Structure 1
Amino acid sequence: MRNETPSSPRRRGGAVLPLAIGVAVLALVGWGLWQASRPVPVPIQGQMEARETDVAAKIPGRVAEVLVREGDRIEAGGLILRLDAPEVQAKLAQATAAQQAAQAVARKAEQGARPQEIEMARMQWQRAETAAELARSSWRRVDNLAREGLVAAQKRDEAEANWKASRDAAIAARAQYDLARQGARAEDRAAADAQARQVAGLVAEVEAAHAEAELRSPVAGEVAKVLARAGELVPQGVAAVTVVDLSDQWVVLNVREDALARFAVGSEFDARLPALADAGRARFKVRYSAPLPDFATWRATRGGAGFDVRTFEVHAHPLQPIAGARPGMSVLVD
């Protein structure tokens, strides 16, 4: 009868190897199921924005010439378009004429009467003085004759009245002469000067309106939109050109409340702009955070229970300018 011998190492190894493979397969399948059950991380998507300025005319007018196109770079104070405003030109001509008249009145009040007028007033005064002296002499003679009874009292009274009238006329002529020498009163000069300044202010106002016929950009940037065309009427206060400042950009993110801790004001995060490939990676700093309207952002965390979360609008500015970044480009935060 044969005796049984123990299993050889080769047989034991052949039994362990399939077991190890089975365990590895089971582990791999389990890891795959665990990975599949994990939620896929969804990046937070935002959009680049930039400071936009709508340039509008302060006066209505017809567009005579448009000097920029969309995409042009423009400096602050650069000429955008010209308006044809004949009404403003007419008002400027009227205001200028009124200013010249007011200035002439003010100069007349300041300088006083002309030398010829002063001389005429002096001569009138001297003639009145001579007439008054003659009337006084005549009254004395008539008065002496009346005392001697040679002339009636009526004649004496008439001579006295004539002398007093001539004397008063001489006094009035002297006052006219003094007035001509002294010129206008201080109040009249002040009133004339005030009127001249008032009209000058009106001229300055019309000149400012006339200057607005040349529409200039108040900021430097890139022309994003040209809404006016040559020949069109541009109303007052309606934007004709939009200028975007590419140096003042930020990203706008809509973040749920349960992820807001990462985007607190003052915090920093990394993001990328897919449109710029590797050059689009940048670091941003949060400057602003505020909740969006309730009707658009309430969202339940669970279907039947739990609490509702809100969505916040977050503004973050890049720490360094992003070359090539444009408004509207997508921004992804992993």
Structure 2
Amino acid sequence: MAKPATRRLLGGAAAVVVIALLGWGVYQAFRPVHDPVQGQIEAQEVNVSSKVPGRVGQVHVQLGQAVKRGDLLFELDSPEVRAKVAQAAAARDAAGAANQKAQAGARPQELVAARANWERAQSGAKLARVTFQRVQAMYAEGVIARQKRDEAEAQARSADELATAARAQYDLARQGARPEDKLAAAAQVRQVAGVVAETDAALAETRIMAPAAGEVTKVAIQAGELAPQGFPVITLVDLADVWAVVAVREDEFQPYAKDTLHQASIPALNVKAQFKVTLVSALPAFATWRAARPGGTDLRTFEVRLRPTAPVPGLRPGMTVVFER
């Protein structure tokens, strides 16, 4: 038989154990429980479109295909663009020919013809002057009438004027185009060159290249369909630029301050990874949590973006990511 003192000691110890267990149970029942924060993986997307409208001639990629920057994605068939290119090329040739003509001046044959006209006019003027002198002498002697003398004088003056005009034509042929005409012709060439560059750029826009590396996740238009200007024909996703997005209530936001590090599990890959908070922004006003007690304040929800601190093989947009608290 145990002594009474021993029995009292054992009973007290048992009571302490029971009280401790009851306290632990109450604590576990009423302590705050923090559920894991669940988010989703997102990635940078690029919508590829054309600056010119046209009919899709050929699509060179397929869904799920990985492309590099500069790879040909699709081509447009645009007769209107080809016609503008041909018009611009013809205008360029015409402007170039006009400019060459203005800069070169008259041809040698034109110079020879102008000089011959001037010399012929000079000879005619000289003959007209001699004839007038003879008629004048005869008029002074009273041999012919004044009318004949006046006609001879008019013919001499007309011949001199014709010789002067022929000399001016010869001088113009020697000098070539005026400086203003040369400048205008050169400016026309530059203007047409701009038009040619514009049409060449439009033609280049019918061959659409990948602006960045990525994976083809959407092909909105197939060959033979019309593609409006600026319509996203192909969507690329950059799997090297991924992040996790979680929504955190305002009263639970403190652990997710910018630049903080967090461990997360990715169920689809059955791996854990470390993420770093890179962006925090408040969601629109309708995304709020009402206070549970009367007289409290609304609790806003924040969008938190976290990027993996190291590449995670196989990580793709849409995967679930779970952050433990």
- TM-score w.r.t. the length of structure 2 is 0.92
Residue of 126, 138, 145 corresponding to 1:152: 145
Answer with 38-47 or 102-111: which moved more: 38-47
Aligned pairs (5 A) from 1:1-334: 8-9=2-3, 20-21=13-14, 23-278=16-271, 280-284=272-276, 286-297=277-288, 299-334=289-324
* Per-residue deviation, residues 108-147 of structure 1 (Å, max 9, x unmatched): 1111121111111111111001101111111111112222
Q: For 1:107 and 1:270, how far apart are their aligned partners in 2?
A: 74
State the one-letter code of the partner of 1:203. Answer: V
Deviates more, 1:262-271 or 1:167-176: 262-271
Shift of 1:25: 4.6
8 A contact 1:289–1:313 mirrored in 2: yes
Q: Which SS does the other structure have where 1:89 is aligned? A: helix
SS at match of 2:268: helix
**TM-score of the aligned structures, taking structure 1 as reference length:** 0.90
Give deviations 1:82-108, integer Å, cap 9, x for gaps: 111112112211221122112111111
Deviation at residue 318 of structure 1 after TM alignment: 2.6
Secondary structure (helix, strand or coil) at the match of 1:295 reads coil
Query: 1:300-323, CA deviations, whole angstroms, 9 ceiling, x for partnerless residues?
Result: 332323222111112232332322
Deviations 1:132-167 (A, max 9, x none): 111111111111222222222222221111111101
Distance 1:132 1:260 in 2: 108
Distance, in Å, in 2 between the alignment partners of 1:41 and 1:261 is: 14
After TM superposition, the structure 1 stretch with the greater mean CA deviation from structure 2, 103-112 or 127-136, is 103-112
Question: Per-residue deviation at 1:228?
Answer: 1.6
Count of aligned pairs between the two proteins = 324
How far apart, CA to CA, are the structure 2 residues paired with 1:146 and 1:91? 75
CA RMSD of superposed structures (Å): 2.1
> Per-residue deviation at 1:175?
0.7
Distance 1:276 1:17 in 2: 54
Structure 1 residues 314, 163: CA separation in 2 closer, same or farther (over 3 Å shift)? Answer: same
Of 178-187 and 142-151, more deviation after overlay is shown by 142-151
